[in-house]
Chain A
């Protein structure tokens, strides 16, 4: 699974990375990322997750997803 991150998250981790761990849902993915990048815990806890087209729910089964995007709180406008 490829994981893409944006904005302030890039201060803590690469903008894209490959995770080989078996990850079932968004909540598990969040936990894996926090374990791997503990300094990003606060921001990861406030992130949403998405595909290239839609926001995913916490319990969404992502076992077969190839790309996941991690979305920090927005600051547009």
Chain B
């Protein structure tokens, strides 16, 4: 999983960003410790249901080759901007059940400010720009494509 990026030889950036199999945030975190990083931030974006309309699961469609490239570029950009020691982002494709992780972002930096800021930057860019689409499947038998994210911080 860990490889050294040529652009930032001292930073570790993961190479596979789209996964069709279940993500384990805890397992991913095991590999993301660095002797020069005093702060590790892990964000797990998880599928949630809604009291107004019960969600059974989401199904993610991905333009995989482009998404892989774009996420990698976003990570390298964040590494350079916040001088990260490590950065990871993996997003699911296919069916994801409620409470399962749809996306995981890990950032490691010398201090927490950089690790937090970089983590938010990465997830915001991934949500807004990377070609990934969710279809929501509801308990009442209906389904619909998720609305595009117009948020900036959620």
Q: Let me know if B129 is at the binding interface, CB within 8 A.
A: yes
Q: Let me know if A39 is at the binding interface, CB within 8 A.
A: no
CB <8 Å contact, A77 and B149:
yes
Residues of B within 8 Å of A50, CB to CB, are: 63, 66, 131
Give B127 Cβ to nearest chain A Cβ, in Å: 4
Please give the number of chain B residues whose Cβ is less than 8 angstroms from any Cβ of chain A in the complex: 27
The residue that A76 contacts in the complex, of B65, B69, B127, B145, with Cβ under 8 A, is B127
CA distance A69 to B64 in the complex (A): 11
Main secondary structure of the interface of A (DSSP, over half): loop
CA distance A6 to B131 in the complex (A): 9
CB <8 Å contact, B66 and A7:
no
The residue that B148 contacts in the complex, of A51, A55, A69, A75, with Cβ under 8 A, is A75
Please give the number of chain A residues whose Cβ is less than 8 angstroms from any Cβ of chain B in the complex: 19
Residues of A within 8 Å of B45, CB to CB, are: 77
Of residues 69 through 93 on chain B, the ones whose CB sits less than 8 Å from some CB of chain A are 69, 91
Known: A7-B145, A53-B69. A75 touches B63 (CB 8 A): no
Nearest-CB residue, chain B, relative to A52:
B65
Known: A77-B123, A77-B126. A72 touches B66 (CB 8 A): no
Of residues 20 through 73 on chain B, the ones whose CB sits less than 8 Å from some CB of chain A are 45, 60-63, 65-66, 69
Q: Let me know if A60 is at the binding interface, CB within 8 A.
A: no
Residues of B within 8 Å of A77, CB to CB, are: 45, 91, 102-103, 123, 126-127, 132, 149
The residue that A55 contacts in the complex, of B65, B66, B128, B147, with Cβ under 8 A, is B66
Give B85 Cβ to nearest chain A Cβ, in Å: 24
Of residues 109 through 136 on chain B, the ones whose CB sits less than 8 Å from some CB of chain A are 123, 126-135
Q: Let me know if A26 is at the binding interface, CB within 8 A.
A: no
Residues of A within 8 Å of B65, CB to CB, are: 52-53
A residues contacting B by CB (< 8 A) are: 6-8, 11, 46, 50-55, 69, 71-77
